[in-house]
Amino acid sequence: MSNELVKQENVEMIVTNAPQSYNENQISHDRCIETGKKLLADIHATGGMNDELDQRAAEFINRARNTVKKMNDKRSPVTKLFDEIRTVFTNMESDVDPAKPDSIPGKLQKMRNDFAAKKRAEAEARRREEELRQRVEVAKNRYRLAVEDDYQQSFNRMLNASFNELSMLNNSITLKNFEQQETSIRNFPITLSEDKITLLPSGAMIPAELNANDSLEIRRQVMTKLLPKFREQYRFDIGENRDNILFMLPSKKKELEAISQASAEEARRREEEMKLREAEEARKREEERLRKEEEEKNRLKVQQQQTEMTGLFSKAAISTPFYQPKLQVKKKIVIKSPLGFLDVINLWWTTEGCELTVDELSKKFKSQITHCEKLANDKSNPHFIQSNHISYEDEVKAK
């Protein structure tokens, strides 16, 4: 407390005036209460108000107002000094209170809040950047496997078409065209056509996270990786199939010659047996091809699952600053338009207001109720609320 408030004359004034002001106000208080009680007793004794008692009550109320004024004048010097002393104390507290924006601790707290918000925004930006990087990486891996699967299926269809072409050449052999078909089978290409495979388009769906350059580069990488494998597989599978057919051609020719010399019934039987043998051999080759294709599908499926799991559980480490201030993050409503208050009131009403009593709500909406009463008492243009939940009553006050 400053020296100005504790100087001797102030202390003497409080010591001298406070008891005297209290005693005088106590006497005024007691006399006013005593007179008022007597007037109330007279009113009750006569069974209520009458003209004479109403005049006495008016005079008493006027004297009571004057008494209040005199009591206030007597205690004001003392209470004013106490108020000043309290103000000095509260001002000193405010100067060091972090909750006060203008205090030095308050300004430091504001700086800390801004710094913490900046650090949090930076951390959020790093987190979003890392999440985006991870999503792009997962999308690349997923697309790479989808493209590989798509190219593999296209290659399998191409391989199957060559198998069918060889089978058709073999199945259409007769004694008349034997040499011609044998030459066609022997000269059947077992080298994969570069144009046929490298120009294959991919029907795999491009993820939204990838741009055109990323997807084009992934398709190029996948084709570069698969091309040697496709070449080797095509050469081996088609070459093996062609060589098997060529190996069986001499015996097939003998069989055809025997069929041409046999009776009609025997020829039909032997021809049917030959077709059944060829069909069985073709079935075995097809089963083997499908088995290899299924193995490749399972391999890609496992890789796809691993990619998905990596996307779910792999969290790249984000560097954390050496010092991170403690944060308390709360949502704060910012009203952007006067209409926003209607939304606030609506939420408050549905979660709390609807459960309050009329008295509790009247206290909360005192200002709004007062405004509506003012509109109702406008002499020139009164305005009333039309509602089944509201009524207007006359409030009568004697002057």
Global pTM value: 0.55
pLDDT tens digit at each of 399 positions of the chain: 444 555 666 667 677 778 888 898 999 999 999 999 999 999 999 999 999 999 999 999 999 999 999 999 888 888 887 787 788 888 888 989 998 899 899 999 999 888 988 988 888 898 899 989 988 998 999 999 999 989 988 898 888 899 889 989 998 888 899 999 999 999 999 998 877 777 778 888 999 999 999 999 999 999 999 999 999 999 999 999 999 989 989 988 888 888 787 777 777 777 777 777 777 777 777 777 677 777 766 776 676 666 566 555 555 454 445 566 778 888 999 999 999 999 999 999 999 999 999 999 999 999 999 999 999 999 999 999 999 999 999 988 887
Question: What does the longest C-alpha to C-alpha distance in the chain come to?
Answer: 154
Domain residue spans of the chain: 3-95, 133-313, 331-399
User: What pLDDT shows up at residue 184?
Assistant: 94
d(CA 212, CA 206): 9
The DSSP result for 106-121, as a single string, is: HHHHHHHHHHHHHHHH
Count of Cβ atoms closer than 10 Å to residue 338 Cβ: 7
